[in-house]
């Protein structure tokens, strides 16, 4: 079963090309270790929220942009084997890959404020055959663990509406390996309470124009206004992103 690693990063806006170049060197390593698909997306339409938002999630400053990224694995076992190997390299138990050497390929952002975690897909709806993803919407949502099934049912309904309005793909993934960070993490990002999980989601669109037109219709669709939401919408946050690195195995 597909497994997702999700990331949110605050990167200096002036370092956009450095971010792309860094990802271009690092991401092939994951493909070599079994990843199926990697997307690195740069913030384009990332609004401020009243309670939570992408900027607050990673303590972004005014001169920083948000990157929303994910790695798709064929299963969790392949992902775990990759992470174990990378950990062994960082701890000196195995020879390090020179592409991971921070002195040769320094991170163009503050890694201490990056948030990341592993997620199990709840739904993955869409058909990308023959269509290139040119824009993405990213979401992070706190959901009570006891409402997982209700959330999945709502997500399936919404996915159909998104696709009616031009979306290529809708993926919703449930937090599985979401660790506490020293400075930032996914749970803090959505002010998760005891008994809540974090959901990492994204929509893929062929281009921004299709996305903007689609959302204009979606926002007035009565089917998108359920009476009982299975999560606290005030703590969900979202934004629109331009894919800047796309790699498939």
Q: Where are the alpha helices (DSSP H) in 165-226?
A: 186-189, 208-218
What pLDDT, on a 0 to 100 scale, did the predictor assign at position 4? 98
Below-50 pLDDT ranges, the chain: none
**CATH for 3-248, options being 3.40.50.740, 3.30.70.100, 3.40.50.620, 3.20.20.70:** 3.30.70.100
What pLDDT, on a 0 to 100 scale, did the predictor assign at position 155? 96
What pLDDT, on a 0 to 100 scale, did the predictor assign at position 129? 66
Q: Where are the alpha helices (DSSP H) in 168-223?
A: 186-189, 208-218
pLDDT tens, 183-192?
Answer: 999 999 999 9
- 3-class SS at 207? coil
What pLDDT, on a 0 to 100 scale, did the predictor assign at position 93? 86
pLDDT tens, 34-47?
Answer: 999 999 999 999 99
What pLDDT, on a 0 to 100 scale, did the predictor assign at position 30? 96
For the entire predicted model, the pTM comes to: 0.95
């Amino acid at each position: 079963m597909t497994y997702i690693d999700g990331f949110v990063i605050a990167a200096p806006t002036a370092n956009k090309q450095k971010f792309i170049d860094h990802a271009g060197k690092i991401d092939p390593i994951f493909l070599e270790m079994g990843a199926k698909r990697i997307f690195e997306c740069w913030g384009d339409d990332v609004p401020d929220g009243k309670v939570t938002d992408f900027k607050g999630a990673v303590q972004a400053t005014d001169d920083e942009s948000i990157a929303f990224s994910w790695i798709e694995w064929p299963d969790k076992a392949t992902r775990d084997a990759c992470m174990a190997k990378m950990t062994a390299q960082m701890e000196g138990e195995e020879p390090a890959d020179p592409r991971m050497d921070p002195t040769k390929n320094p991170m163009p952002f503050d890694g201490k404020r990056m948030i990341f975690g592993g997620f199990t897909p709840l739904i993955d709806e869409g058909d990308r055959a023959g269509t290139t993803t040119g824009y993405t919407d990213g979401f992070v949502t706190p959901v009570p663990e006891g409402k997982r099934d209700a959330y999945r049912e709502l997500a399936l309904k919404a996915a159909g509406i998104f696709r009616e309005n031009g979306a290529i793909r809708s993926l919703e993934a449930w937090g599985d390996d979401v660790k506490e960070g020293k400075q930032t993490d996914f749970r803090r990002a959505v002010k998760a309470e005891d008994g809540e999980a974090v959901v990492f989601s994204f929509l893929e669109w062929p281009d921004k124009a299709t996305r903007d037109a689609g959302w204009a219709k979606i926002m007035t669709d009565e089917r998108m206004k359920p009476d009982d939401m299975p999560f606290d919408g005030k703590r969900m946050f979202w934004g629109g992103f331009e894919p800047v690195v796309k790699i498939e195995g």
